[in-house]
Copies of this chain bind each other. A is one copy, B any other.
Amino acid sequence: MAVSMHDVARAAGVSQRTVSNVVNDYAYVRPETRQRVLDAMAELGYVPNAAARSLRAGRTGLIALVVPDFRARIFADLAGPVVREAEALGYTVLIELTESEREREIEVLTGGRNQLTDGAIMMALSLRPEDGERRRADYPIVLVGDEVLTGDVRHVAIPNREAAKAVVRHLAGLGRRRLMLLGYAPAEHQTGRMRLRGFLEGLAEAGLTAQEELLVEAGWTRAEGQRAIEEHLDARRSMPDAIFAMNDSLALGALRALQARGVRVPEEVALVGFDDVEEARYSTPSLTTVSPDVEALARNAVAMLHEQISGRPAGRGPHVVVDFELKVRESSR
């Protein structure tokens, strides 16, 4: 067994209490006593035991980051900032993968199989509003992304609607009139619904009307983007002069299809994505895209969770929408 506080106390000739005081640099300890204790600790290689501390404190200092999968770039992007923010507030982050399974997401709402974490930050993709009732009231949670639960669950969102609107405004400003929305998926995630809504609002604002033929269904993957555009072109459906893809993967797939069919981007068709994945900067042409402030997403999520855990008064509302930036690149000029 590892060396305990008791061992240190004996070695330093003080009581356990004093060792504890030193470890937590608490209260008043006479400098020389402190030094003696520190020496003893170093000598014995003392390391405080997290389990005992947690048991005593009733908190573990752990928070869970719950994501569907790390291969999706946005989740990987989020992990770094979340870990850093959490660390700054004294938390350690542990990872939970849901593979987008609803059961696993629900399990998080109840605090998990064991009370291992003080709270969770979750990107939920499969929860339904009514699942909110299964939530254990005293388990702090912050949802990132869509607002999928009813009730007073805190949540920090990507500005889907506002950004989609900004994209349309940008395209209309370039004189484009026949805008395609790629990745249309009626009643899928709220993310899709919000981007759709922003798209439609943008069109209305620009005095344009949506053409049904230009709302193109596709899963949000590169392969699907490619397939959908190929089919659209081959079927000689009405040709857009701009495409707003629901995310960058779709956009990059579309780009490949357009190039394969000899359609020039951006001359004939402008192309805009969403997410600002790294590749967007490096494709040829480079891709105009919406860049949500992921850093702020992480910062807010951790801060909001910390507020709940520590019972501190919320310095911000229960719902936060972070900023975004439209990165205009070669694909829409």
Give A residues with C-beta under 8 Å from B. 1-2, 45, 47-55, 58, 60, 62, 65, 69-71, 73, 76-77, 79-80, 83-84, 92-97, 111-116, 136, 222, 252-253, 256, 259, 278-279, 282, 284
- A116 interface neighbour in B45, B69, B92, B253, Cβ under 8 Å: B92
Q: B282 contacts A58, CB within 8 Å?
A: no
Please report the C-alpha to C-alpha distance between residue A47 and residue B117 in the assembled complex, in whole angstroms. Answer: 12
**Known contacts being A94-B94, A95-B94, A256-B282, is A50 close to B116, with CB within 8 Å?**
yes
Across the interface, which residues of B come within 8 angstroms of A50, CB to CB? 54, 60, 114-116
Please report the C-alpha to C-alpha distance between residue A324 and residue B69 in the assembled complex, in whole angstroms. Answer: 23
Chain B nearest CB: distance from A257 CB in Å?
A: 11
Minimal Cβ-Cβ distance residue in B for A113:
B47
Across the interface, which residues of B come within 8 angstroms of A65, CB to CB? 95
Total identical chains: 2
Across the interface, which residues of B come within 8 angstroms of A84, CB to CB? 97
Chain B nearest CB: distance from A227 CB in Å?
A: 13
Q: A51-B51, A51-B52, A65-B95 are in contact. List 11 more A-B contacts (CB 8 A).
A: A47-B111, A48-B113, A48-B115, A50-B54, A50-B115, A69-B80, A92-B94, A94-B94, A94-B95, A256-B282, A259-B284
Across the interface, which residues of B come within 8 angstroms of A112, CB to CB? 47
Across the interface, which residues of B come within 8 angstroms of A252, CB to CB? 282
- A80 interface neighbour in B93, B97, B253, Cβ under 8 Å: B97
Minimal Cβ-Cβ distance residue in B for A260:
B284
